[in-house]
A and B are shown apart, each in its own frame.
Chain A
């Protein structure tokens, strides 16, 4: 099993540009999570999906952030326009959650985003 796959691993962009982060969950998993990790705030849940449907997006910082999951094997997190304070490591995680119950989350390697 390849685990959770994220791309790109590193992204450097300029303020105002659009950034798209990609995630492929573990095959068969039906829950997907996007987290942001910073020194100041630690690991924060941004949004999560169950069966491709967004369940809780209360952690999304503002309208500049959006996330989609068009199918069970792919999700994107988009920031438009990006700002320097968005610089962080963004993790995607997936889990197999029958009936919406909690199960172990498996994390991807993360995307390190730097906004200049």
Chain B
């Protein structure tokens, strides 16, 4: 069964700092990849997704992620974070074939941005 690892459980940054959150998955075949965000007290929302094509994916609110197949990684980045980016971030994976509609989520990274 595939698994998703998010190694950074808690990240604290100052405003304007650059962000990179790690995501690695264990699945040998072709995958679909997602990043979701959960703001305090709110439900999960899609930030960005990768199905195929350009491995550098742009999402909402200035976020981007790069799919590196050789490293089984899909790291999330933002060049300059804002206080409003404080949230929990989840990476998720689905096999492109045979996975049905199932998503496997990582355990999440709690990001706190300080003023």
The interface of chain A, by Cβ under 8 A from chain B, is: 4, 31, 33, 35, 41-45, 48, 50, 55-56, 91, 93, 95, 97, 100, 102-110
Q: What are 5 A-to-B residue pairs whose CB atoms are below 8 Å?
A: A35-B105, A42-B108, A45-B104, A104-B49, A107-B36
* CB closest chain-B residue, reference A42: B107
Q: Chain B residues near A93 (CB, 8 Å)?
A: 44
If A55-B100, A104-B34 are given as contacts, then 9 extra A-B residue pairs at C-beta distance below 8 Å, sorted by A number, are A41-B107, A42-B107, A45-B102, A48-B100, A50-B101, A55-B101, A102-B96, A104-B49, A105-B101
| Total B residues in contact with A, Cβ cutoff 8 Å | 22
Instruction: Tell me if A's interface is mostly helix, strand, loop or mixed.
Output: strand
> Contact at A33–B107, with CB atoms within 8 Å?
no
> Contact at A56–B100, with CB atoms within 8 Å?
yes
> Contact at A100–B90, with CB atoms within 8 Å?
no
Given A100-B100, A102-B94, A102-B99, A43–B105 Cβ distance below 8 Å? yes
Given A42-B108, A43-B108, A105–B103 Cβ distance below 8 Å? yes
The interface of chain B, by Cβ under 8 A from chain A, is: 32, 34, 36, 42-46, 49, 90, 94, 96, 99-108
Instruction: Point out which of B45, B103, B105 has the most chain A C-beta atoms below 10 A from its C-beta.
Output: B103
- Cα separation A48 to B103 with both chains bound (whole Å): 10
Q: Chain B residues near A4 (CB, 8 Å)?
A: 43
